[in-house]
């Protein structure tokens, strides 16, 4: 199965068929974040953005604020989004007895458990907010990384790449069985696929 691609054909389809409720929809194929602004974002983040991510946000104008506001990027807003991801994981550690094999033996206190998990979390592949609780991993810095839906430790694939994700989110979803074709991303794919060496229990 060939992955859909960002570009004029997809943008035209999205502009004609996207559903975003009562918000003003994004305009795909319009001027978005400038390349110089994108470079500044990379400098603030401290890592390289995937090519398809940069292409998308350089070519979308979002007057209704549907997508994460990369055009008005602030490191504080970005950090808040990532903090929410961690807070959801921490909530499951505290309230749903979540503990990963990769964290070793669970400490005796909740504080120590959260500290151990948070240290590991800081080493996971960086995430890029797209819309709500949907995120694109920034690593590897390649096109066609999958998009994940992340709600606490309920983490699932939501698009095989950015183009596929936009169709899934704003047009019409397709069967979940296709997700096996998605690129595997350390940690995040382990959650999504419940791999044997990454059990949540």
Q: What is the pLDDT of residue 201?
A: 63
* pLDDT of residue 10 exceeding 70: yes
Q: Is the entire prediction scored with pTM above 0.85?
A: yes
DSSP state, residue 194: T
Picking from 6, 20, 2, the residue whose alpha carbon sits closest to that of residue 162 is: 6
Among 26-40, 65-79, 92-106, 176-190, the range scoring the smallest mean pLDDT is 176-190
Q: What is the pLDDT of residue 15?
A: 97
DSSP H helical segments within the chain, as ranges?
8-17, 35-45, 51-58, 75-95, 110-121, 162-170, 188-193
For 83-141, how does the pLDDT look when each residue is reduced to its tens digit (9 = 90+)? Answer: 999 999 999 999 988 899 889 999 999 999 999 999 999 999 999 999 999 999 999 99
Contacts of 52 (CB under 8 A, 6+ apart): 6, 143, 144, 145, 161, 162, 163
Q: What is the pLDDT of residue 181?
A: 75
């Amino acid at each position: 199965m060939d992955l859909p691609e960002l570009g004029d054909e997809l943008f035209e389809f999205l502009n004609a068929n996207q559903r975003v409720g009562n918000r003003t929809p994004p305009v795909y194929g319009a001027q978005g974040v400038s390349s110089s602004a994108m470079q500044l974002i990379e400098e603030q983040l401290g890592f390289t953005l995937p090519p398809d991510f940069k292409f998308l946000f350089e070519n979308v104008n979002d007057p209704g604020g549907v997508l994460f506001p990369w055009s008005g990027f602030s490191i504080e807003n970005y950090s808040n989004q990532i903090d929410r991801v961690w807070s959801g994981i921490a909530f499951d550690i505290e309230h749903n007895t979540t503990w990963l094999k990769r964290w070793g033996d669970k400490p005796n206190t909740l504080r120590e458990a959260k500290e151990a998990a948070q240290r590991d979390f800081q080493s996971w592949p960086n995430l890029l907010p797209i819309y709500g609780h949907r995120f694109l991993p920034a690593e590897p810095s390649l096109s066609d990384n999958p998009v994940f839906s992340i709600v606490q430790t309920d983490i699932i694939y939501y698009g095989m790449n950015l183009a596929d994700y936009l169709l899934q989110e704003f047009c019409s979803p397709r069967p979940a069985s296709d997700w096996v074709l998605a690129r595997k991303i350390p940690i995040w794919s382990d959650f999504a696929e419940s791999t044997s060496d990454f059990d949540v229990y």
